[in-house]
Copies of this chain bind each other. A is one copy, B any other.
Amino acid sequence: MSQITIRELAEICGVAVSTVSRAMNDRSEVSPLTRDRILAAAAEHGYVPNTSARSLKISTEKLVAAIIHGETSPLLLELFELLETRLADHGYGLILTRVPAGSAHPETVARIVNERKYAGVVFLGRYGEDDQGEAPDLGRRLTQIGVPMVFCTTADFSGGSWMHSSVSVDDRGGGYDLTRRLLDLGHRRLGFTSGGEATDTQHVWALRLDGYRRALSEARGSGATGLVLSSARPGASYSMTNGYETVRRHLAANGLTFTALVCTCDAVAVGAIRALTEAGHRVPEDCAVTGFDDLEIARYLTPSLTTVAQPLVEIAATTARVMLQAIEQPAVAPEQVSIQGRLVERESSGPPAA
């Protein structure tokens, strides 16, 4: 049994297709009786309107496209769910599309937007290929697509000219807070697990690194030094495996040359702790370790992770607000929102051993 069409349902009910359409869309110009009759028949025969046909007619649907480029993460998924709920409050649906690594072109976005009459698009996480650097003209070409866009959890990556809105945690501030706290605890030799090339200045890890450097430069007088461990796997920057490999290599080559390690994120911290433990170093006694994100694992790992909690609820709420505003008042200038994260101290950090 395949789907029944509006015409067939109209015949069954003995009305015109236009009447069925009005009943299904809950328009006011239908008499309650016919409406109920039609709805009942629709339920009985399993009629559901064809979205393609609907999309073709409607000038713009109350629908937003969420685009995740490359690997997904628990964080982005939670954000998706929060955002979905927020937008639903305003009658908007959110449709998730994954774009495989290697195909983050403007055309891909154009194709997605063209599938249905999306009112806007939210990028969950970074959009753009690593090898195309800052993609100077990505932003402009995205703008040409003609629907409002907001970058969620990253800055607008489109060449630094900020043509689109963005909402994210204050990555620089988080990196600063963690580093500052470690310095206050008395650490003088710190390390940071880099996430890629030094040229990727707009990456989330690079912003956190920026905060790390700022805190260190403020503490210059104290004799504090800050090392940057180069990433073992550029392509998998935020994984446990990358954290493990990065730290293992460093320890094998140089030994433990720091008393505190600021990691790019919680997953990297998990890998880093494992590498330290395997090399016989105790966390936090021999080396304090911090994460970023406050994933579920941060609470249940032993030692539990000192980290910066992403304000996911606020990020989702702000993203929804910015998106809806852009849809309703397209003339408004893009805004760059950065929300402060919360430092959570747990077992993985403490003062250096005497």
Contact = CB atoms under 8 A, between A and B. Distances in A.
A81 B97 CA distance: 12
Interface in A258-289: 267, 270-271, 273-274, 277
A48 B42 CA distance: 34
A53 interface: yes
Given A77-B72, A146-B1, A146-B2, A300 B240 contact: yes
A1 B114 contact: no
Nearest to A270: B300
A3 B114 contact: yes
A148 to B, nearest CB: 13
Interface in A300-329: 300-302, 304
Interface residues of A, number: 51
A271 B244 contact: no
Nearest to A274: B300
Given A1-B144, A144-B1, A146-B3, A296 B50 contact: no
- When all copies of this chain in the complex are counted, the total is 2
A107 interface: yes
A116 interface: yes
A111 B93 CA distance: 14
A241 interface: yes
Nearest to A239: B296
Contacts of A144: 1, 46
A116 B51 CA distance: 7
A50 B297 contact: no
Interface in A83-135: 84, 95-98, 100, 107, 110-111, 113-117
Q: Which 9 A-B pairs have the closest CB atoms?
A: A51-B115, A52-B55, A52-B52, A2-B146, A274-B300, A52-B56, A240-B300, A48-B111, A1-B144
Interface of A: 1-3, 46, 48-53, 55-56, 72, 74, 77, 80-81, 84, 95-98, 100, 107, 110-111, 113-117, 144-146, 239-241, 244, 267, 270-271, 273-274, 277, 296-297, 299-302, 304
26 contacts: A3-B145, A3-B146, A46-B107, A46-B110, A48-B111, A50-B56, A50-B114, A51-B52, A51-B116, A52-B115, A52-B116, A52-B117, A81-B98, A84-B98, A95-B97, A96-B98, A239-B296, A240-B296, A240-B300, A267-B296, A273-B302, A274-B302, A277-B302, A297-B297, A301-B301, A302-B302
